[in-house]
Structure formats: structure tokens, C-alpha cells
Amino acid sequence: MHIELVSGTTNVIRFPGAQRIIPTLDLLHDIAPDVRVVLNLADAFFLEPPLHDLRDRTDAETADFIALHVPPHGPSRAAMLKDMEMPSVRAAIDACRQAEAAAQLARDARAAANNAPDASQREELRDRADSLARDAAVLLLRAHVLAEEADGVARAVAFARSGETWVPRNHADETDALIGIGAALAR
């Protein structure tokens, strides 16, 4: 077992609970990559950054699919909606786990390179660590894309489950609402 300390501490160990928890959208939100890290890694490794509106596109496409293919009522509707949401959430969680495992492997390789006894071995291990870091970045971008898609699917499915008519997200209204909540909490 690999022991990982929580950053900024010397005596708090991170317990890998996300490996044992049933896949849910809340778990995905807890382990999904931070978009700032994703964009920085894409830039650092000269990778194509993810689409900025991927979640909204997936949301709209899923809503269209639901409107055209999912029955308006009954038990088959609930089953179809569940079958739409859960595979995307599971795939995103699996991708996040793979990205984290690859990142840990790259960190371990970098540590081994830094602790190598001679320069030639150190250089060879650094090349391997760099390759593993790039692989980890690619996996992190993939995890981000799948997490964004899962969020889009989940939003459209939530509208369908509640019986509400789907509407596209309004980012300006959402931002205003968050600012209002922050202001109310500050009082």
C-alpha cells in the first residue's frame, strides 16, 4: 500500500476511500480534475486543451436524445434515464482513478530519478519520469473530458426526472446567484 500524506501536513494520511465508494455524481465531483490543473498540463505538454463548452454541449445533446427517444412516462422512462446517467458517471470515475494512478507512478519515477546514485542512471530515469508525466497528463485530460460529459448528461437527466422542460444553462444568472449567496453569507 502506498501511503500519501495530505499536502501541507506531516501527520495526516490520505485514505483512498474513493476506490471503495459506490460510483455517484457526488463522488465524481470530489475526485474530478481541477480545470486549472488540466489547462496548465495541456499547455505544459503542448496538448490540445479540452473544449470550454463541452459540458453544455453534452447537456443539450442529451436533452435532445431524451426528447426524441425516451418515453414520456412509465417505468421504462426511469430505467432508460438511469441507464443513460450511470455509465457516464462510472466511466468518468474510472478515468479519474486511472489518471491519479498514472500521476502517482510519475511522481514515484521522478523521486527515483532524483535519488539515483549516478548521473547516467539519473538521466535515464528522468527521461522515463518525463514520459510517465506526459502519459499522466493525457489521462488527466481524458478524465476531465469524461467528467464534463457526465455532468452534462446528469443535468439533462435531472431535468427529465423532475418533469421540467430542459433549458440551457445561463452562466451569467448562475454567477449572479453565487455572488448573491456569497454576499448574504458575508453579512
| CA–CA gap between residue 20 and residue 16 (Å, rounded) | 8
Instruction: Compute mean pLDDT per 10 residues along the chain, 187 residues long, and list them.
Output: 59 58 88 94 96 94 95 90 93 96 94 88 92 97 97 95 89 84 86
Let me know if residue 59 belongs to a domain.
Answer: yes
Specify the pLDDT at position 56.
94
Instruction: Classify 5 as helix, strand or coil.
Output: strand
Q: What is the pLDDT of residue 1?
A: 47
Per the structure, how many domains does the chain have?
1
| 8 Å CB contact between 16 and 94 | no
Is 180 within a domain?
Answer: no
Cell of 117: 546514485
Please check whether residue 155 lies inside any domain of the structure. Answer: yes
163 assigned to some structural domain: yes
Residue 182, in any domain of the structure: no
Alpha-carbon separation of residue 160 from 18, 66, 83, 102, 157 (angstroms): 28, 8, 13, 36, 5
Structural domain includes residue 185: no
Nearest of 132, 96, 112 to residue 16 by alpha carbon? 96
Note whether residue 176 is domain-resident: no
pLDDT at residue 23, rounded to an integer: 85
Q: Which domain holds residue 162?
A: 18-170
Identify the CA nearest to 24 among candidates 88, 80, 81. Answer: 88
Rounded to two decimals, the pTM is 0.81
SS3 13: strand
Question: Which pLDDT score is estimated for 42?
Answer: 96
- 183 domain residue, yes or no: no
What is the pLDDT, as a whole number, of residue 160? 94
pLDDT value at residue 117: 87
- Convert the pLDDT of each residue in 104-142 to its tens digit: 999 999 999 999 888 888 899 999 999 999 999 999 999
